[in-house]
C-alpha cells in the first residue's frame, strides 16, 4: 500500500497522520480510528519510559506469542503507577473513553524490539471491550487496519513518539490491525524507520467482566 498515493485525512493542521483507501472508509472511521499526535510532552514520555524500563529490562524478548500475533516482544500488565504516570493515564481515560465505560484495572505494556512487529489480528472480545487506547513511546511506527471482509478497505495510522491512538467501534471490531515491520514501514511514500517501540495500552472492560478480573491474556496492540 506504500506509494499508492491514495487519499489522506488530516486529523490536525500540518502533516497527515491518517490515510486510507478512499473517502468512504476515511469518513466512516473518522471518529473510530483517531490519532492525537503530541499528546505527551517530552517530559511525560520520559516519565513513563523511566518508570517502565527497570521492569521491562528484567524480561527477555520473545519470538512467539500465545495467539501467534507478535514477534520480537516483551510485555507486562501494570496496575501500580507513580503519581506522575497516573496523571497521564487519567488524561488518556478522559480523552479516549466515555463516561459510562469502565477500564480494565491493569494497563498492558508492550515492548517491541527494533525488528519486532505485530501481525494482523482482531483482539478477542473476551479480553477487551469496545475501546482501546495506546500511547506510543521511543520510536515511530505505522499501524495498518484492514477490513476483515473487504480487504480493499484499509486505513494507516502514523504513530509518532508521544502520540495517542484510539480504536473504537467499527475500527475495533471490523478491521484487523498490525504494526508494520521495519522493512515494510512506509506511510505513503514516506519511509518510517522503526526502532524499539513501547506502547502503553488502556482497554475498556469486556462486556460481562467485573473490573477486578483482568488476568486474561492481553491483546496485541
If DSSP codes are grouped into helix, strand and coil, which group holds residue 161? coil
Q: Where are the alpha helices (DSSP H) in 58-210?
A: 83-96, 169-173
Residue 212 C-alpha cell reads as 477486578
Q: Do β-strands 18-20 and 154-159 pair in parallel, antiparallel, or remain unpaired?
A: antiparallel
Positions in the chain whose pLDDT score sits under 70: 1-15, 65-68, 208-221
Contact 154, 20 (CB under 8 A): yes
**In the prediction, which pLDDT does 29 show?**
94
Give the Cα separation of 120 and 188 in Å (integer).
Answer: 19
pLDDT tens digit sequence for 6-58: 344 333 333 489 999 999 999 999 999 999 999 999 999 999 999 999 999 99
Does domain 18-203 correspond to CATH entry 3.40.640.10? no
Give the Cα separation of 176 and 69 in Å (integer).
Answer: 11
Q: What is the pTM of this model?
A: 0.87
Q: What are the extents of the domains in the chain?
A: 18-203
**In the prediction, which pLDDT does 128 show?**
85
**In the prediction, which pLDDT does 9 show?**
38
Amino acid at each position: 500500500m506504500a506509494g499508492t498515493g491514495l487519499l489522506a485525512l488530516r486529523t490536525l493542521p500540518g502533516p497527515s497522520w491518517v490515510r486510507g483507501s478512499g473517502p468512504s472508509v476515511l469518513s466512516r472511521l473518522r471518529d473510530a480510528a483517531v490519532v492525537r499526535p503530541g499528546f505527551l510532552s517530552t517530559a511525560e514520555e520520559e516519565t513513563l519510559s523511566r518508570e517502565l524500563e527497570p521492569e521491562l529490562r528484567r524480561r527477555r524478548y520473545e519470538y512467539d506469542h500465545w495467539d501467534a500475533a507478535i514477534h520480537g516482544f516483551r510485555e507486562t500488565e501494570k496496575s501500580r503507577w507513580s503519581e506522575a504516570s497516573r496523571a497521564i493515564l487519567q488524561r488518556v481515560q478522559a480523552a479516549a473513553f466515555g463516561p459510562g465505560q469502565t477500564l480494565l484495572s491493569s494497563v498492558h505494556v508492550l515492548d517491541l524490539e527494533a525488528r519486532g512487529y505485530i501481525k494482523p489480528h482482531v483482539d478477542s472480545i473476551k479480553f477487551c471491550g469496545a475501546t482501546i487506547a495506546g500511547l506510543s513511546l521511543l520510536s515511530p511506527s505505522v499501524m495498518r487496519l484492514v477490513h476483515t471482509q473487504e480487504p480493499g478497505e484499509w486505513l494507516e495510522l502514523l504513530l509518532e513518539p508521544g502520540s495517542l491512538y484510539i480504536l473504537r467501534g467499527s475500527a475495533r471490531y471490523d478491521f484487523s490491525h498490525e504494526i508494520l515491520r521495519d522493512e515494510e514501514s512506509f506511510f505513503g511514500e514516506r519511509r518510517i524507520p522503526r526502532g524499539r517501540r513501547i506502547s502503553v495500552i488502556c482497554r475498556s472492560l469486556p462486556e460481562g467482566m467485573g473490573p477486578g478480573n483482568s488476568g486474561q491474556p492481553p491483546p496485541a496492540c
